[in-house]
Structure 1
Amino acid sequence: MDKSSNLFRIEHENFKPEKGKVLIAEPFLEGKYFKRSIVLLAEYNEDGAVGFVLNKPINLTVDEVLVNISHFDGDVFIGGPVDTNRIYYIHTIPELIPNSIPIIDNLYWGGDFSVLKELIERGNVLAHQIRFFVGYSGWSAGQLQQEILGNSWLVSQLKVEEIMSPYIENLWEKSLRQMGGKYMMWANFPENPSLN
């Protein structure tokens, strides 16, 4: 399939990448981390970008990934290919977790993990308030812009409720349908066109 055709060319003037926006992978982007992925940009500046893949759960709980933490029902997701031996988290409770870094209104990442651990042990954190990631997605200065210009990513926006929702099974398709126009066709494009 020719990615230079109008059907697969992305209009970049509507959304520019910035902190709090999401990247929607174009239908042909391959790889276990980014194929049909939605990536939240937690940081974006002249030095590069940091993001977390929102729609790739790994079917493990936090206490199965980390030692010395109480059981917690929240899902763990693949955040990206960088630093996969660490856990990262985004949340909506900055008033409870000191040193949280704002992403957009009502959405934060990181913060004091020892405080978070205590909150989990006391049952003061609910699964819909926090999301954990193994690793993160990172781009060096100028790298993400080149990938966007190469039509690998569509930049869009999701509400905090959508970002934190446990119902992410069809998030890639749903996000494209919300964009409308030709992007609705992207959502229906088969994962393997040769099987169609």
Structure 2
Amino acid sequence: MYCFNMENKMNKSVKAGDLLISEPFLQDENFVRSVVLICENNENGSFGLVLNKLSILKLNELIDNINPLECEVYVGGPVEQNTLHFIYSGDCLFDTSIQLREDLWWGGDFDEFLELLKLGKIEESKIRFFIGYSGWASGQLEDELEENTWIVCDTADAESVFRASPEELWRIILKNMGGEFQQLANYPIDPRLN
């Protein structure tokens, strides 16, 4: 039977740069085995990007005149899938970028970013593009945390986020958290198979 108590094992408060890891048996098709990077969390609600849900689209299919850029695009979440967002690792490139972690940045001047990318001044392995985002109304994410829908990770570094394959990221983050979380990483999607 699926049962684990994480009351004292997870940080219930969430801040920008934290990762939300879905609990092993979450059945919401938008968030099954997902890892969500929180970009903003305040009294108005929360904004995040699913890091491990690859779309079928490439960047040059979404934006005109950027050939030959065929960067992968991820599904950031079910909200406003007509929007495009990006994160990058390394040094800050724009005054308008928001720092999420020591070496992880969200957004910035998109046109300038594309120009740097076209000129080869940004490594494709250090960027991620997203269509849509994940959003929570005020208090909604806190309720989901109380229900143990999410495990909060505040220790993952940007390198592991960008290096891991989308299929393995959920499992890798849990394993790296150690203890009970290592066990959760091996749970089957269907609890009847446990």
TM-score, normalised relative to structure 2 = 0.89
Alignment partners' CA distance in 1, 2:164 and 2:175: 19
Q: Please give the alpha-carbon distance, in whole angstroms, between the structure 2 residues aligned to 1:160 and 1:94.
A: 12
Deviation at 1:141, TM superposition (A): 0.9
Superposed displacement of residue 195, structure 1:
4.8
Task: Report the counterpart of residue 148 of structure 2 in structure 1.
Answer: 151
Q: Name whichever of 102-111 and 139-148 sits farther off.
A: 102-111
Aligned residues: 192
Within 5 A, what are the aligned runs for 1:1-196? 5=3, 7=4, 9-12=5-8, 14-15=10-11, 16-92=13-89, 95-157=92-154, 158-165=156-163, 167-195=165-193
Question: For the residues of structure 1 that align with 2:42 and 2:9, how far apart are their CA atoms?
Answer: 18
CA contact (8 A) 1:25 1:37 kept: yes
Percent identity of the aligned residues?
40
In structure 1, runs of 5+ residues without a counterpart are none
Work out whether residues 25 and 191 of structure 2, in 8 Å CA contact, stay in contact via their aligned partners in 1: no
Q: 1:104 to 1:167 in 2, by over 3 A?
A: same
For 2:165, give the aligned amino acid. Y
Q: Over the residues paired in the alignment, what is the CA RMSD in angstroms?
A: 2.0
Q: 1:194 to 1:13 in 2, by over 3 A?
A: closer
Distance 1:49 1:107 in 2: 18
Give distance in 2, aligned partners of 1:74 and 1:36. Answer: 23
- The Cα of 1:14 is off from its aligned counterpart by 4.0
Alpha-carbon distance between aligned partners in 2 of 1:75 and 1:12, rounded to the nearest angstrom: 38
Query: 1:26·1:151 contact (CA, 8 Å) conserved in 2?
Result: yes
Structure 2 unaligned regions, length at least 5: none
Deviations 1:92-124 (A, max 9, x none): 356433411221222111111111121122222
* Matched position secondary structure for 1:134: strand
1: CA distance between counterparts of 2:8 and 2:69? 40
AA matched with 2:138: A
| Contact 1:58–1:78 (CA under 8 A) maintained in structure 2 | yes
Find the residue that maps to 2:185 and give its secondary structure: helix
Greater CA deviation, 19-28 or 59-68? 59-68
Deviation, 1:60, is 2.8
C-alpha displacement of 1:175: 1.4
What is the TM-score normalised by the length of structure 1? 0.88
